[in-house]
A and B are shown apart, each in its own frame.
Chain A
Amino acid sequence: MSPLLEVRDLTAQFARDGVPATVVKGISFDIAPGESVGFVGESGCGKSVTARAIMRLAPEGSSVAWGGRIGFRGQDLLTLSEREMRDIRGRRIAMVFQDPMASLNPVMSVGAQIDDILRRHTGLSRKAARQRTIELLGLVGIRDPAIRADDFPHQFSGGMRQRVLIAIAVSCQPDLLIADEPTTALDVTVQAQILRLLNRLRRELGMALMLITHDFGVIAGMVERVNVMHGGEIVEAGPIDQLFAAPTHPYTRALLAAVPRLDGARPGG
């Protein structure tokens, strides 16, 4: 099967205080249609910048020079115009971030925010869009979606807000969903619910998932393949079971050894 996403020699260079810093140093990877791929690493390893590169989003308050190629459905995303890119973002590739509150408009009801996106990308009528919005909110497990659609973001709990964001992300049935630390800000019981929801939606909608996280427990149950990032490079990549069972790169081994276990054993420590 030809890959949905084909990243080759991706680089990202920032200018910090006039000094250029390369935070992604020529990484390559594929994501097949419907496949679930994880990116793990510590803070500053370049995993979030990689995710943003695919959306062509510069991290806040900085400018980035991208290099390499991001092949997606026969196009190189890095060569598209900003207008063409807007048609891809949210429609073909959608993204869910760590902080659901920062990603929602606080003065607009959540229903209106989803309506907006649906109408922009699909040209549905006002009425049809609202109906679809209610379906979507139901799909992500929000009770009484027809009523809750008129509520504002602050009236939702953190977990419910993340469900709303996921509803927005899947509203146009994207081919690829990028989730950047989607459960890091949530309590552990809520995290489990959101992970289950992401798994279910991926199955039901047949979309590919790119999951970025620092948590080896989160990545373990969610993806088929995993890329370990360190210092802007992919240091190890492979099927999830194999990588956990027999990590080959010393960095991966050090990371896995440091993960605390519920049974109290720290295998490496």
Chain B
Amino acid sequence: MSAPPPLLEVRDLGVTFPARRGRPPVRAVDGVSFDIAPGQTLGLVGESGSGKTTTGRAILQLQPVSAGTVRLLGRDLTSLPAAELRAMRRHMQFVLQNPYSSLHPRMTVAQILAEPLRIHATVPRAAVDERVAELMTLVGLDPAMTRRYPHEFSGGQRQRIVIARALAVNPDFVVCDEPVSALDVRTQAQIVDLLQSLQAKLRLSLLFIAHDLAVVRAVAHRVAVMYGGRIVELGDAAQVYDTPAHPYTRNLLDAVPVPDPARQRARLAEATVDPDFRGREADTGACVFGIDHAATGTAPWHEIAPGHFVSCRFWPRGVTPARG
């Protein structure tokens, strides 16, 4: 096939939190696999505790990985020595949720933006100021404001600074963890627009982690839905949103409030029973798709349409895949 090789390749990623105070170890992320192509956005959605944030941190090696591999530009990050990993950080960056806490409160914007430039020495020392000004312009801020401190900016402006810092060293890949959820709706829209235009301009690959399904719909080319530390559905945004295959995805999409009074009233009026997704944990026997993965040695993963995958895990009892 003519698809370009993926920029990021995540295979069977697992993160286990060690046992604490008599509680057993927790598999926060379990068997997560996906690719992100150059210039593409993968939206990672899920509710609190689904493991989406841990997945993002594990990919960036900010979180010890207990299983699997993460290949960026062909190199496996999980086995790199510390010094080489730090050098690789030039290619991967992080935008955190809270623009109020993710900037050093006692550093000026100029210092904040110059730090990655100096560390990775991507521009000559003499050109740092120029690059800082260029970054400010890139994210739509006035370069004259670089001598100010973060607290002198609004939430939206701060998030622009966070994005500028992430882009300082021309990364190929950026993890955005809930980048707009702390912002007001109009600011959200502006930041989303900014991310999209930057992506087009710089051919960035993004992992966009969010709990807000509508925001993800607006930015993502492909979407992965996480539940209980696993991906339960993965496909093109249109596939996942318009023809959701996993009952959990359907449940999630049905719960999203829509800004349309008549439709939203109708959604709330529907009597619902909350399905129990904890069933079907067994690793043996036939899955909902009729395949015994333990016997065949395959992953619990089914391609129901080209590029549209669904997990046979976490199906409530009595629910079966729609046919045809």
A–B direct touch in complex (beta carbons closer than 8 A): yes
Chain A positions near chain B (C-beta within 8 angstroms): 42-43, 187-189, 191-193, 195-196, 199, 214-218, 220-222, 240-241, 244, 254-264, 266, 269
Chain B positions near chain A (C-beta within 8 angstroms): 47-48, 184-186, 188-189, 192-193, 211-215, 217-218, 237-238, 241, 251-265, 267-268, 272, 274
Tell me if B184 and A256 are in contact (CB < 8 A): no
Contact with A260, one of B192, B263, B265 (Cβ below 8 angstroms): B192
Tell me how many residue pairs across A and B have CB atoms closer than 8 Å: 109
Tell me if A214 and B184 are in contact (CB < 8 A): yes
Contact with A189, one of B212, B252, B267 (Cβ below 8 angstroms): B252
Given the contacts A220-B257, A221-B257, A260 and B47 also touching, CB distance less than 8 Å = no
Residues of B within 8 A of A221 (CB): 257, 261, 264-265, 267-268
Residues of B within 8 A of A259 (CB): 185, 214, 259
Given the contacts A188-B211, A260-B189, A260-B212, A217 and B218 also touching, CB distance less than 8 Å = no
Given contacts A43-B184, A217-B257, A244-B260, 8 further A-B contacts (CB under 8 A): A187-B211, A188-B252, A189-B47, A195-B268, A217-B256, A220-B263, A260-B215, A264-B237
Residues of B within 8 A of A241 (CB): 261-262
| CA of A254 to CA of B189, assembled, Å | 11
**Chain B CB within 10 A, most for which of A188, A195, A199, A215:** A188
Q: For residue A193, which residue of chain B has the nearest CB? A: B274
Q: For residue A199, which residue of chain B has the nearest CB? A: B268
Residues of A within 8 A of B255 (CB): 188-189, 191-192
**Chain B CB within 10 A, most for which of A215, A217, A221:** A221
28 contacts between A and B (CB under 8 A): A42-B185, A187-B48, A188-B213, A188-B252, A188-B257, A189-B251, A191-B257, A192-B272, A193-B274, A216-B259, A217-B258, A217-B264, A220-B259, A220-B265, A221-B264, A221-B267, A240-B261, A244-B259, A244-B261, A257-B189, A258-B185, A260-B192, A260-B215, A262-B256, A263-B217, A264-B237, A264-B241, A266-B218
| CA of A218 to CA of B47, assembled, Å | 17
Tell me if A42 and B241 are in contact (CB < 8 A): no
Output the least CB separation between B280 and chain A (Å): 19
Tell me if B217 and A264 are in contact (CB < 8 A): yes
Residues of B within 8 A of A43 (CB): 184
Q: For residue B180, which residue of chain A has the nearest CB? A: A260
Tell me if A261 and B212 are in contact (CB < 8 A): no
Tell me if B218 and A260 are in contact (CB < 8 A): yes
